[in-house]
């Protein structure tokens, strides 16, 4: 599969870090960002690259040449006039005969590309967006998906958004089928020429190519906890350098074993109110966002595992539960904390109640104290369970954790042979 790297951006906000080099050539630990990206692709078998260049193009071309020095083959598409970030794609449409990766050289990433591409193939859409939760969803654009992860709405940070929304942010990495480029009515011949208003006609990828696919069922989100960060400002650049030196960037690649903190929901994250089915009853416990933020910063995945028999009992629908989880993510996001996954068991074993959903009244493998939810998350995210924790306020959490092979922490009182006992999630994060 071909990979196209968009390296034509100007990088005006980062000129205080390095004013004479194009953004993709800015060094992190002595190596240009773009070189790190190329190595990451090469090591996973992506060796056929096209780099689109404009601003200070020669610096990039002179350094990478035909790519042979780096074990890859590189072609360049040089923009003489700025075409917008998707103009080049339309201009080289003939060369694009099969799905390709489209990556942004302005961000630093280290991800499992084959897993990403595999997901795209499984979904069978025209476009797959790499999406992730971040620590500032309130001032980021967010994507709203249906229950098949197809994009329904693409909200920019300026757009009005629902009160509660999932923390799902576009990271600027894509798998694209060339047919997606043919769906707009842009006149390719005119791109790069002067329009009627005297301005050069450009093409914007997000606005003109991708956003129109919302609601078509042909564009999907690939949710991943891997490291992708924009380094467009001096502050963000600083953060990326620190993360690199700590080994965090590579560690989060899902090719590598992950460590996780599995979090029970009711009584651990939010106030225990019995069977919670009314969204107004959902309230975070004090100190929880700060604690989850620390879990995020320490390089653990934060994954909720929760029994929600309210679904089987007919007290809440999947949609209502989703809305409650959106509220949880929104409230956490406002304090800079995020979850990497939410796994719930909708089942309940005892039949014969009014209003219940009969097909969910079963003995399943996922209801804690069974370890099914944890084991599924471990498969999905390549988690080393022996390096991971479960924390919860009940015996079921401890037993599920033990059955899965995790270290265990109980909030509150009781002896279920847990490894640790604490008073709150906040107490727990101090000791990991």
DSSP state of 210: I
> Closer to Zn ion at the Cβ: 398 or 400?
400
Binding part of the chain for Zn ion, among 41-49, 73-81, 201-209, 342-350 by CB under 5 A, reads 342-350
Q: Please state, as a whole number, how many other Cβ atoms lie within 10 Å of the Cβ of residue 408.
A: 22
Choice between 152 and 363, CB closer to Zn ion: 363
**What secondary structure does DSSP assign to 227-282, as a single string?**
EEEE--SHHHHHHHHHHHHTTHHHHTSTTSPB-EEEE-SBTTTB---SS---GGG-
Beta carbon of residue 399, minimum distance to Zn ion (angstroms, whole number): 15
Active site residue 204: no
User: x/- contact string, 359-398, with Zn ion (CB under 5 A)?
Assistant: -----x-xx-------------------------------
In Å, how far from its chain's centre is CA 211? 18
| Cα–Cα distance for residue pair 281/264, rounded to 1 Å | 17
One symbol per residue from 222 to 261: x for binding Zn ion (CB under 5 A), - otherwise; what is it? ----------------------------------------
* Catalytic site residue from 110, 223, 264, 340: 264
Residues 2 and 47: their CA atoms lie apart, in Å, by 8
Q: Which is nearer to Zn ion, 92 or 364 (CB)?
A: 364
Shortest Cβ 384–Zn ion spacing (Å): 24
- Give the C-alpha separation, 423 to 288, whole Å: 12
28, 240 contact by CB (below 8 A) = yes
CB of 406 to Zn ion, least distance (A): 18
- Least separation in angstroms between residue 332's CB and Zn ion is 24
Phi and psi angles of residue 145, each rounded to the nearest 5 degrees, phi first: -120, 165
Beta carbon of residue 107, minimum distance to Zn ion (angstroms, whole number): 38
Across 7-71, the runs of DSSP E, i.e. the strands, are: 27-28, 31-32, 48-53
x/- mask, Zn ion, residues 347-366, rule CB under 5 A, reads x----------------x-x
* Number of residues located near Zn ion, criterion CB under 5 A: 5
What x-and-dash track marks residues 301-340 binding Zn ion by CB under 5 A? ----------------------------------------
| Strand 169-176, strand 100-104: pairing | antiparallel
- Phi and psi at residue 360, to the nearest 5°: -100, -5
Cis previous bond, 369, omega within 30? yes
Annotated active-site residue 264? The verdict is yes
Q: Pick between residue 199 and residue 379 the one whose CB is nearest to Zn ion.
A: 379
Select from 328, 345, 398, 411 the one that contacts Zn ion (CB under 5 A): 345
Write down the catalytic residue from 106, 110, 243, 266: 266
Nearer Cβ to Zn ion (308/326): 308
Tokens 């068991």 locate to: 345
- Residue with smaller CB distance to Zn ion, 45 or 349: 349
Q: Read out DSSP for 338-355?
A: --SEEEEE---S----TT
Should residue 400 be labelled a site residue for Zn ion when binding is judged by CB under 5 A?
no
Collapsing DSSP to helix, strand or coil, 126 comes out as coil
CB of 368 to Zn ion, least distance (A): 9
409 membership: H or E segment, kind and range: strand 407-411
Q: Which is nearer to Zn ion, 129 or 345 (CB)?
A: 345
Q: What residues are annotated to the active site?
A: 264, 266
Applying CB under 5 A, the residues found at the interface with Zn ion are 345, 347, 364, 366-367
């Amino acid at each position: 599969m071909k990979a196209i790297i968009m390296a034509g951006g100007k990088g005006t906000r980062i000129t205080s870090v390095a004013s004479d080099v194009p953004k993709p050539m800015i060094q992190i630990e002595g190596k240009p960002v773009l070189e790190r990206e190329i190595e990451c692709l090469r090591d996973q078998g992506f060796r056929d690259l096209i780099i689109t260049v404009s601003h200070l193009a020669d610096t990039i071309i002179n350094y990478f040449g035909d790519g042979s020095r780096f074990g890859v083959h590189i072609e360049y598409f040089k923009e003489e006039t700025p075409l917008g970030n998707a103009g080049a794609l339309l201009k080289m449409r003939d060369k694009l005969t099969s799905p390709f990766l489209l990556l942004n050289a302005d961000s630093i990433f280290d991800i499992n590309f084959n897993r990403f591409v595999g997901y795209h193939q499984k979904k069978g859409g025209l476009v797959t967006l790499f999406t992730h939760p971040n620590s500032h969803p309130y001032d980021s654009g967010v994507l709203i998906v249906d229950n098949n992860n197809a994009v329904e709405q693409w909200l920019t940070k300026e757009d009005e958004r629902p009160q509660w929304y999932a923390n799902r942010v576009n990271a600027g990495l894509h798998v694209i089928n060339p047919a997606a480029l043919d769906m707009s009515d842009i006149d390719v011949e005119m791109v790069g020429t002067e329009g009627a208003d005297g301005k050069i006609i450009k093409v914007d990828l997000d606005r003109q190519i991708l956003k129109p696919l919302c609601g078509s069922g042909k564009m999907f989100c690939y949710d991943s906890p891997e490291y992708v960060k924009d380094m467009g400002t001096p502050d963000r650049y600083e953060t990326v350098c620190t993360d690199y030196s700590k080994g965090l960037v590579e560690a989060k690649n899902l090719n590598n074993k992950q460590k996780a903190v599995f979090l029970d929901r009711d009584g651990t994250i939010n106030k225990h109110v019995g069977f919670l089915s009314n969204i107004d009853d959902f309230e975070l416990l004090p100190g929880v966002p700060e604690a989850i933020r620390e879990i995020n910063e320490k390089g653990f995945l934060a994954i909720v595992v929760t029994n929600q028999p309210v679904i089987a009992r007919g007290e809440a629908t999947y949609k209502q539960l989703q809305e409650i989880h959106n509220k949880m993510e929104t409230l956490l996001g406002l304090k800079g904390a995020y979850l990497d996954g939410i796994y719930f068991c909708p089942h309940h074993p005892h039949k014969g109640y009014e209003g219940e959903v009969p097909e969910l009244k079963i003995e399943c493998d996922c209801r804690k104290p069974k370890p099914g939810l944890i084991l599924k998350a471990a498969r999905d995210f390549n988690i080393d369970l022996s390096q991971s924790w479960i924390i919860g306020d009940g015996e079921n959490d401890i037993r599920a954790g033990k059955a899965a092979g995790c270290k265990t922490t109980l909030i509150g009182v009781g002896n279920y042979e847990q490894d640790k006992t604490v008073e709150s999630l906040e107490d727990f994060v101090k000791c990991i």
